[in-house]
Amino acid sequence: MNHSSMFSSILLLHSLVRWLVLLSLLFSVYRGWKGWREKKDFTRVDNSYRYWTVFFALSQLLLGLWLYFISPIVQYFLHDIKATIHERDARFFGLEHIVVMTLSVLAIVIGSEKIRKKSTSPEKFRTMFIWFTIGLLLILSSIPWPFSPFTSRPFFRMY
Ligand code: HEM
């Protein structure tokens, strides 16, 4: 596999896994809210929502890190930061996206550990709702949506 086909494969995966990250987060936030409000028991199903949300978020972090080292736009950003920091696209992928997304994954991982340590169901649900909502909002703000004012990329990649 040459360098550029490796890049497009990882980019394709990173673009796709975004939907798994978003869906698992949305479901978990909803379950957290519902379980907390309706005083449900935190079951093994709830725990598996927590687990898969962390799994997809960490996978996306790894794919993102990998991309960071091979992405042409990041390389362009890094070669002369003083100048490229003023360019929208280069700054977004070279700096903003990686910082906000790493923080969001951190919120998800910390939240998950807190959920595990809480001893009662309402506390677990509440922790899941709060920390995963923080992660979700950070992620929503830093995806290069086609309608994003920062930088736009397609909803789906086809190659
Ligand atoms: C965890 C949540 C994350 C989500 C939902 C996410 C989502 C995305 C999306 C949708 C794209 C556009 C893909 C495309 O052009 O089709 C993208 C690009 C990119 N992401 Fe992420 N990302 C995340 C985390 C990260 C992290 C933590 C890093 C770095 C460590 C990273 C590095 C990159 C890079 C370098 C690109 C652009 C590559 C290029 O176009 O040259 N991402 N990301």
Residue 153 placed within a domain: no
Q: Which domain holds residue 38?
A: 3-142
Residue 58 placed within a domain: yes
Residue 93 placed within a domain: yes
Residue 89 placed within a domain: yes
Locate 158 and state its tokens: 């086809």
Residue 148 placed within a domain: no
37 lines ligand 1 (CB under 6 A): no
Give the nearest ligand 1 atom to 65 CA: 30
Select from 21, 97, 153 the residue to mutate for testing ligand 1; criterion: most ligand atoms less than 8 Å from CB: 97
Q: Mean pLDDT across the stretch 99-113? A: 98
- Taking only the tens place, the pLDDT of each residue in 11-33 is 999 999 999 999 999 999 999 99
Buried b vs exposed e over 106-137: b needs ≥16 C-beta within 10 Å? bbbbebbeebeeeeebeebbbbbbbbbbbbbe
Specify the number of domains making up the chain. Answer: 1
Residue 157 placed within a domain: no
Q: How confident is the model at residue 2, as a pLDDT?
A: 80
**pTM (2 d.p.):** 0.94
Locate 146 and state its tokens: 């086609």
Q: How confident is the model at residue 13, as a pLDDT?
A: 97
- Taking only the tens place, the pLDDT of each residue in 115-133 is 999 999 999 999 999 999 9
63 lines ligand 1 (CB under 6 A): no
Residue 86 placed within a domain: yes
Contact 52, 31 (CB under 8 A): no
